[in-house]
Amino acid sequence: MQKTLPPATAVWLAQTPYDVREVKAGQNFNPTAKQLTRFFDFSQTGGVIHATSGTVLSTIFNRSTGFAVVGKGKDRFTGDVALGIRGTKFTSARDWFSNANASLATADNNSVVHSGFQKVFRSMQPALEKQLAPLLNTNSNGVVHCAGHSLGGALASLAAIWIKQRFGNRVALYTYGAPRVGLNDFALKSSGSIDKIYRCLHGDDPVPMVPVWPFYHAPLNGSSVLLTAATGINISSHSMMENPGYVTTSRGQWEDLQRRGDTIKAVRLAYERRFECSFSTHWQERLSHALITLLKDAGMLAAVSVQMTIGGIMTFYDHLAATIEKVALMSPQFETQVMGLLGHMLVFAGKVTTTITELSARFIRWVFNITLNAMYNVARKAIEMVS
């Protein structure tokens, strides 16, 4: 591909929007980071873009805040455009980010995405159109560099797709600690249309774990940029403002940074080895792969995945639990495989003394509930640090 931003420039493009929260919509803003202003001018592109975060309070009072900045390329990025979008913290425990309150929506590439992310993106889309159209309508050769942290990474992903559809420019996407945005078709279409994707994360950041399967990261079966490795879960690793590791580990060139393969692997877990499991991003990934492997082995993966688009998130896990109950009854081998998966999930969620005495849909649904709650609770705490 053409030019991509140096890691130090990309990380500052994702971090700078945090400085515009209280800046009025349309007001000009000049970043202080020299790594960013060396290549982009933010003073002549229409000013700060506002959005409504989607939290309960902001929705009630229709309160928007500064969410994004647009820069016009210069130096070796002349003709390019930079778009940086910030994350946000949530003011209510019953926000749309939680699994229980989530629903689905359709993105600009006709794929299925999390409705909460799409709602926030739609609130900023008119302002994006107003600022990007003058820069891109007569500039089809320029690359649009989209960057974001946390929720901003999810919004940058949606923006990248929309820009590709709307203007046809080449697009490079740089996300930091971003959650999963959409289902399998979203990840596939994003991988096929966005020209370059750098998905950066700290290994112990819980936010990239959610929303859980069947949501996927893009690029599907690609690789992520692993800024730091870890076996545990650390909520402070998510904060870009409090964690200097985002900047200090983003020096040099992309080839210098560690890559991690994100290909789904075949994982089958043994019940008697469940105490090897720990509450970590590593084991969250293994549990997800083990669930996918079980459904694939039983020939039910495609049917279960389709159920998400038919019934939505609320009923999906009821259907999944009933399906796994049927799988366990298919053969002693599958029963053993289900026992191994559920046993590891219980230990992951802290229920180390709970033994499995039944494989009913009701019990399986309970195991999913406590496992999902454990993941969403720690992810929510990490996001609440974002300010």
pLDDT of residue 348: 96
Domain boundaries, the chain: 7-263, 271-379
Q: Which of 132-146, 207-221, 315-329 has the lowest mean pLDDT?
A: 207-221
User: Is pLDDT of 164 > 90?
Assistant: yes
pLDDT range class, residue 56, cuts 50, 70, 90: very low
Q: What are the tokens at 21?
A: 């929260």
240-287 pLDDT per residue, tens = 876 666 777 777 788 888 887 778 889 999 999 999 999 999 999 999
For range 40-62, the mean pLDDT:
65
Alpha helices per DSSP H over the chain: 7-15, 34-37, 56-60, 115-136, 151-167, 184-193, 245-248, 281-297, 301-330, 332-348, 361-384
Q: 3-state secondary structure string, 215-251?
A: CECCCCCCEEEEEECCCCCCHHHCCCCCCCHHHHCCC
For range 282-298, the mean pLDDT:
95
Quote the CA–CA distance of 5 and 371 in Å, as a whole number. Answer: 38
317-343 pLDDT per residue, tens = 899 999 999 999 999 999 999 999 999
Quote the CA–CA distance of 104 and 98 in Å, as a whole number. Answer: 13
Per the confidence metrics, is the pTM higher than 0.75? yes
Closest C-alpha to 325, from 347, 352, 298: 298
Q: What are the tokens at 315?
A: 């009923």
Of 264 and 198, which is predicted with more confidence?
198
Pick the CATH number of 7-263 from 3.40.47.10, 3.40.50.1820, 3.90.79.10, 3.40.1050.10: 3.40.50.1820
DSSP three-state, residue 145: strand
66-112 pLDDT per residue, tens = 888 899 999 999 999 999 998 875 444 344 444 445 678 888 888 88
pLDDT of residue 166: 92
pLDDT of residue 103: 79
Region of 79 (left: φ > 0; alpha: ψ -120 to 50; beta: rest) is: left
Residue 100 CB coordination number (10 Å): 12
pLDDT of residue 2: 62
- What is the rounded average pLDDT for all residues in the chain? 86
pLDDT of residue 279: 95
Quote the CA–CA distance of 291 and 297 in Å, as a whole number. Answer: 10
Which of 15-19, 122-126, 174-178 is the most confident on average?
174-178
For range 34-53, the mean pLDDT:
83
